[in-house]
Structure 1
Amino acid sequence: MITLCIGYIGALLFQFLHIPMPWLLGAITAVLCVQLFTNVQLKWHKYFRNFGLVVAGYSIGFAFTPEAV
């Protein structure tokens, strides 16, 4: 639950700063910073992790159109 909250806060911050893909980049950046700069050990259940990877992979892949390439 802590990991989810940290990711959500990062996404909101990136949304406020108008950074592209805040739901992905903001959450990853926030969780990474907490892991690197604090003693907090964040855990994510493997089923949630795998589901998140599928959603992120689909979202990134969906953005690649012939025009984008």
Structure 2
Amino acid sequence: MIYIISKAYMNRYWSSDFISPDLGHHATHMRILELIRNHDAEQARKAMIEHFEFGRKFNQLYFNR
């Protein structure tokens, strides 16, 4: 699944009309990783839900034109 998502993202990224998302998105990945490392399952779950919501909105904005 990650391969498919990454490939679609990179194809869009290299297109001429792509506008980069908020760079804070990378920080979200790091936050999730840290929560998992700290065994904070509830906060990791919430962070993943927020991450998926961001992805859903991003996909609507850039892929559903």
State the TM bucket, normalised to the shorter chain. Answer: 0.3 to 0.5
Tell which has more relative contact order, 1 or 2 (C-alpha 8 A, sep 6+): 2
TM score, norm. by length of structure 1: 0.34
Structure (1/2) with the larger helix percentage: 2
In the superposition, the TM-score normalised over structure 2's length comes to: 0.35
